[in-house]
Amino acid sequence: MLHMNSSEQGGTSMLKVTLEVMHRAADRLGLDQSIRNVISKPQRILSVAVPVRMDDGSVKVFDGYRVQHSLARGPAKGGIRFHPEVTMDEVVALAMNMTWKCAVVDIPYGGAKGGVVVDPRQLSVGELERLTRRFTSEISIIIGPEKDIPAPDVNTNPQIMAWVMDTYSMHMGYSVPSVVTGKPIEIGGSLGRVDATGRGCVYTIVELAKRIGLKLEGATAAVQGFGNVGSHAALILQEMGCRVIAVSDVHGALYNEKGLDCRAIKEVAARTGSILDYQGEAEQIPREQALEVPVDILVPAALENQIHAGNARRIRAKIVAEGANGPTTNEADEILRNQGTIIIPDILANAGGVTVSYFEWVQGLQSLSWTAKQVAAELERRMATSFNQVYDRAEREEVDLRTAAYLIAIERVAQAIKLRGIYP
């Protein structure tokens, strides 16, 4: 049974939001109740205790989860996050969204997600490695290149994926690079993986701009969350001629109506851990204001539920491209749509990461390596094709892009379930 914690019972839990959107699309599709029953619940939930010997000799036990929502379209795929606020409900919701994300860009995966309840900033490198390896050992019974392929997510990175791959390989007795994606290039990673989510997000913005007649050269943008996704989205938008006027991270926000130097800010943040250490032309503003500056394009690329009923009416962007998973609550979604804002939903906007993860997995299975140019071109083709399928469906059925994306994704998963049947 899935439980919401007390802070989520007011109706803003990510799982509740995810299920509501799914059922709304299923209603519109007239989806058979039997299929709806199957897709409403995760196929498998593994909850593990992760004991770790700390540097002082003590042993701490961390809670960890790996959830597989669906295997109907192929092996499960999804990241692992290390965060103190990880809950089982959140991981279930993220796994479910991964199913829809993989389906909407038509790659042969089902959805999965993993998480450990920990603040990795409080761990030494040695403690972090031991945590990663023990967690990998605990979930090794359900992961594998043909079963479930983890990837980086919040607070995890290529080094952590290298530890996951090595631990799994030690269990098997031989190297298994395709057990994870998002690895360092030197051990089977793919070129173009690091910036894939941000780049894919920008490709969807480019396609929407074409559809609505927005010229990107000179358009204004704001990015909330200057981590891997947000920083790359900001850089690529800037390269395309956009004026990025506001960015934020956990410490605060920077604003310059003439445009920020995103590359310099990224370099400073990588060196010091905070964008606020940037010494160039920028005004420091409260973190939440990065969402509210008037812009053509807003990219929320932090955590979920950042745009909610309390601040949605203050958001003045023409386009919201959801770089993060679940950044907009259902109430906020309705407010923004009524204000005329066009939302590119997370299951489409941030699917670039899993798409290039798929490329990495294919390269690993075939012992091939693609050039960065090949990766970027194939990513652009797939994101553009998927966006236009969603946009055309939205126009045809007179619905918003989020509903259209879910219609396409759920339809594809439902068809796979029907074709495979129910065993036994």
Q: Give CA–CA dist 21/4, Å, rounded.
A: 18
Return d(Cα 187, Cα 176) in angstroms, integer: 10
Among candidate residues 77, 101, 113, 318, the one labeled active-site is 113
| Closest listed residue to residue 207, CA positions, set 33, 361, 75, 390 | 390
Contact 234, 276 (CB under 8 A): no
Q: Give burial (CB, 10 Å; 0-12/13-18/19+) of 218.
A: exposed
Task: Give the whole-angstrom CA distance, residue 400 versus residue 348.
Answer: 13
Decide: 188 and 178 in contact? Cβ < 8 Å.
yes
How far is Cα 223 from Cα 376, in angstroms, rounded to an integer?
22
Task: Return the structure tokens found at 386.
Answer: 């998927």
Reply yes or no on whether 418 is catalytic. Answer: no
Cα(333)–Cα(312) distance, rounded to whole angstroms? Answer: 8
Nearest 5 degrees, angle CA 241-CA 242-CA 244? 135
Is it true that the peptide bond before 75 is cis, omega within 30 degrees of 0?
Answer: no
Q: Which residue has the tokens 């403690």?
A: 127
The residues annotated with a catalytic role in the active site are: 113
